[in-house]
């Protein structure tokens, strides 16, 4: 039996007295809040720094509502910006439309008890953003709606743990339903349409559609400043890393300020070469086998070792280029191992006891071209073993799936893109440095979310997918207060669509009702105000974003359900050890 929420299509007419009782309690809370009594209840503490029961829940709910109201206007195709005051005098205010960043700028609300609810919401939104790169506003409105629909149940005496179990059962049902309706993205036009729904920038989304179509979901996409007002892109043949040569004396192309070797032998090592004696044995062995082009990737090449290489290079005896090994430990070791597979080389490491004098020609790899500049170097046409390369790619993909830290995932994805061979550089321009910085943040967020869309598929957007999941929730097996938790979540699923419609100037209830009556895959287009086929209109949302946003909202709201006492440490340093 569902208590304290209006009947859904899959609930019966029983429990009218419980519904009425819950409605009376909720109306009384609203009346108290409007009259200011709720605020006085928050401050009328039964003891120093303590708040209990209904006043505690009212404070938490107030904090959730304040934070949600801040980001609610950013949801949908007609999203508004939030302007944040800069602390530095004379600086222009920040203009943000990213819910996670907006909420993270809120350090603390004045009322400590209201602030607790606000911080729980902020954490949930940021957790979703870190995992997916988007969905912050959706997480917030779902969170607030769950709290709003469960509060009357708590006031009517429902078991908070049973409500929590109901929410979790409903979450499992919705996640499965979303997974069943996903479809893959295909072609640059379709990718661009989804990207535009995320960044609201036609030119950026068009370029991202082209980039992902060329380099694929596992390709490496680097974002850098452009010296123009617009976006642009370029593609790098082969792979490159952001470290350069040790000496400009290696340069072979003065116009491009670049050193370039064709069909060189390539040494991959973490050793440091400081004296000529470290390298002379290897150079003699290479000359004996008639290999006179050497590309060295090492931790350091300096002193007489560098002088030896540059002197032989300029004399034409042994054309050489030495570059700095990329990154830092332990990431450097993984990158060098990847690079060695690309060119069929052996990584020469100091930990194995190998010295420069004992390096043999067979330890070196080969490539069609190796080049280096002052800030980067690259390999084109690596002559690695295809079978070993496929195995290495599989290993790196497995490493990615076992990693949960977003920063580490980004590093692994960059390595994977280099192994596959797809590297694209998105150049971001603008009128001012600040605009460029803001556009780069948007671009990074969109790229991250699009990767999830390409990997996990997409579903009808605009809140239509959540609304379609209400049917699946009717089949959840739950009774009593658990069923009430399921029904509360079912009602909360209407909130994203309602907010999107309201932000676009439409009647929210009408948009929800019309979408419920529409065929599967159809939904409300907030731009036109019409019910359309979401697939044909290109109004789509990444399924992983929908799943993660709802999971974060349910987790945070369930935490508030079971909070009965709030404790505020007025002097934490003295009270740490009472």
pLDDT tens-place string over residues 444-467:
888 988 988 888 899 999 999 999
* Least confident interval from 50-54, 278-282, 418-422, 481-485: 418-422
What percent of the chain has pLDDT above 90? 48
Q: Chain-wide mean pLDDT for the chain? A: 85
Residue 300 has pLDDT above 90, yes or no: yes
Quick one: DSSP state of residue 262? E
SS3 of residue 397 by DSSP: helix
- Predicted local confidence at residue 340, as pLDDT: 92
Give me the pLDDT at residue 25, please: 39
- Under 8 Å between Cβ of 321 and 372: yes
Count the residues in the chain: 578
Q: What pLDDT does 106 receive?
A: 87
Q: Is the pLDDT reported for residue 27 higher than 70?
A: no
**Residue 87 pLDDT:** 67
Q: Which residues partner with 379 through β-bridges?
A: 239, 370
pLDDT tens digits for range 487-544: 999 999 999 999 999 999 999 999 999 999 999 999 999 999 999 999 888 888 999 9
User: Encoding tokens for residue 539?
Assistant: 């109004």
- pLDDT reading at 163 higher than 60: yes
Q: How far, in Å, are 145, 163, 176, 542 from residue 549 at the CA level?
A: 13, 20, 14, 11
For residue 48, the model assigns a pLDDT of 53
Q: Which of 96-100, 201-205, 513-517, 571-575 has the highest mean pLDDT?
A: 513-517
Predicted confidence at residue 312, as pLDDT, reads 92
Q: What is the mean pLDDT of residues 198-207?
A: 88
Residue 171 has pLDDT above 80, yes or no: yes
For the cut 80, the answer to whether the pLDDT of residue 108 exceeds it is yes
Can you tell me the distance from the alpha carbon of 37 to that of 268, in angstroms, rounded to the nearest whole number? 72
Give the pLDDT score at 322: 95
**Residue 397 pLDDT:** 86
Averaged over 303-325, what is the pLDDT?
A: 93
More reliable by pLDDT, 14 or 101: 101
Residue by residue, DSSP assigns 516-540 as HHSPTTEEEETTTTEEEEHHHHT-E
Max mean pLDDT range (33-42, 169-178, 391-400, 566-575): 169-178
Phi/psi for 459 (5° steps) reads -135, 165
pLDDT tens figures, 345-386: 999 988 877 887 889 999 999 998 999 999 889 888 888 888
Check whether 569 has a pLDDT greater than 80. Answer: no
* Residue (of 326, 341, 318, 340) closest to 261 by Cα position: 318
**Tell me, what's the pLDDT at 574?**
45
**Burial (CB count within 10 angstroms: exposed 0-12, middle 13-18, buried 19+), residue 221:** buried
Number of H helices, E strands in the chain: 23, 20
In this predicted structure, what is the pLDDT of residue 94?
81
Higher pLDDT, 95 or 6: 95
How much is the pLDDT for 22?
42
Lookup: tokens for 220 = 């490496």
Q: Which residue did the predictor score with more confidence, 506 or 7?
A: 506
Share of the chain above pLDDT 70, in %: 89
Model pLDDT, residue 44: 38
Query: Six-digit token pair at 551?
Result: 């999971």
- Check pLDDT > 60 for residue 480: yes
Regarding predicted confidence, which is higher, 476 or 227? 476
pLDDT average, residue stretch 470-499: 93
Taking the CA of residue 434 as centre, how many other CA atoms within 13 Å lie in the half-sphere pointing to its CB?
Answer: 6
For 195-216, give the secondary structure using H, E and C.
HHHHHCCHHHHHHHHHHHHHHC
Residue corresponding to tokens 């602030």: 115
Residues 377-427 have pLDDT tens digits of 988 888 888 888 889 988 988 888 888 887 888 788 888 878 876 678 899
Q: Which two tokens stand for residue 226?
A: 């452009």
> pLDDT tens for residues 41-50?
334 344 457 8
Q: Is the dihedral of CA 232, 237, 241, 242 positive or negative?
A: negative
Instruction: Please give the average per-residue pLDDT across 248-275, as a whole number.
Output: 91
Which residues, listed in sequence order, are joined to residue 51 by a DSSP beta bridge?
566
Confidence check: pLDDT of 66 > 90: yes
Among the residue ranges 98-107, 174-183, 265-274, the one predicted with the least confidence is: 98-107
pLDDT at position 358, please? 86
Give mean pLDDT, residues 101-107: 89
Shortest CA distance to 393 belongs to which of 219, 214, 184? Answer: 219
What DSSP designation does 74 have? G
What is the per-residue burial (b if ≥16 Cβ within 10 Å, else e) of 502-529?
Answer: bbbebebeebbebbeebeebbbbbbeee
Reduced to 3 states (helix: H, G, I; strand: E, B; else coil), residue 27 is helix
pLDDT at 413: 80
> What pLDDT, on a 0 to 100 scale, did the predictor assign at position 494?
96
How far is it, in rounded angstroms, from Cα 507 to Cα 515? 12
- The β-bridge relationship of strands 272-273 and 300-301 is parallel
Within 8 A by CB and 6+ apart from 174, the residues are: 466, 469, 472, 473, 489, 493, 547, 550
């Amino acid at each position: 039996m569902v208590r304290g929420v209006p009947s859904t299509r899959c609930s019966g007419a029983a429990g009218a007295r419980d519904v009425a009782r819950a409605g009376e309690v909720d109306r009384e809370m609203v009346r108290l809040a409007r009259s200011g009594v709720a605020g006085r209840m928050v401050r009328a503490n039964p003891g120093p720094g303590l708040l209990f029961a209904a006043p505690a829940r009212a404070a938490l709910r107030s904090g959730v509502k304040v934070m949600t109201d801040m980001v609610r206007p950013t949801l949908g195709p007609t999203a508004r910006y939030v302007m944040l005051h800069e602390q530095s005098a004379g600086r222009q205010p920040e203009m943000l439309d990213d819910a996670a960043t907006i909420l993270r700028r809120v350090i603390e609300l004045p009322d400590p008890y209201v602030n607790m609810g606000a911080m729980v919401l902020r954490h949930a939104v940021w957790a979703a953003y870190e995992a997916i790169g988007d969905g912050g506003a959706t997480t917030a409105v779902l969170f607030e709606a769950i709290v709003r629909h469960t509060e009357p149940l708590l006031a009517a005496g429902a078991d908070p743990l049973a409500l929590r179990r109901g929410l979790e059962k409903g979450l499992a049902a919705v996640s499965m339903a979303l997974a069943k309706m996903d479809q893959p993205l295909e072609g640059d036009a379709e990718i661009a349409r989804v990207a535009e729904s995320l960044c609201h920038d036609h030119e950026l989304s068009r370029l991202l559609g082209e980039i992902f179509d060329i380099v694929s979901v596992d390709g490496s996409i680097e974002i850098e400043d452009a010296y123009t007002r617009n976006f642009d892109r370029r593609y790098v043949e082969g792979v490159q890393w952001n470290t350069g040569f040790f000496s400009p004396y290696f340069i072979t192309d003065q116009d491009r300020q670049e050193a370039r070797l064709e069909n060189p032998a390539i040494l991959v090592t973490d050793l440091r070469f400081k004296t000529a004696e470290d390298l002379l044995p290897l150079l003699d062995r290479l000359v004996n086998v008639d290999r006179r082009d050497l590309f060295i990737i090492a931790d350091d090449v300096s002193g007489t070792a560098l002088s030896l290489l540059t002197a032989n290079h300029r004399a034409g005896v042994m054309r050489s280029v030495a570059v700095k090994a990329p990154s830092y430990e332990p990431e450097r070791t993984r990158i060098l191992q990847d690079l060695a597979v690309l060119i069929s080389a052996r990584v020469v490491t100091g930990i194995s006891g190998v010295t420069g004098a004992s390096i043999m020609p067979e330890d070196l790899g080969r490539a069609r071209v190796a080049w280096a500049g002052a800030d980067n170097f690259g390999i084109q046409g690596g002559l690695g073993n295809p079978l070993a390369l496929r195995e290495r790619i599989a290993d790196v993909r497995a490493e990615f799936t076992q990693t949960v830290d977003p920063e580490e995932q980004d590093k692994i994805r960059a390595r994977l893109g280099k192994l596959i061979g797809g590297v694209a550089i998105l150049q971001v321009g603008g009128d001012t440095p600040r605009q460029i910085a803001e556009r780069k943040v948007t671009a990074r967020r969109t790229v991250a979310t699009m990767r999830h869309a390409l990997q996990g598929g997409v579903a009808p957007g605009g809140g239509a997918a959540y609304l379609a999941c209400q049917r699946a929730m009717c089949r959840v097996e739950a009774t009593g207060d658990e069923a009430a938790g399921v029904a509360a979540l079912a009602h909360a699923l209407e909130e994203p669509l309602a907010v999107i419609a309201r932000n676009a100037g439409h009647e929210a209830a009408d948009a929800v009702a019309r979408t419920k009556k529409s065929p599967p895959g159809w939904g409300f287009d907030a731009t036109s105000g019409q019910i359309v086929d979401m697939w044909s209109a290109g109004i789509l949302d990444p399924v992983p974003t929908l799943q993660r946003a709802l999971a974060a909202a349910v987790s945070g709201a369930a935490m508030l359900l079971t909070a009965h006492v709030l404790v505020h440490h007025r002097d934490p340093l003295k009270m740490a050890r009472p």
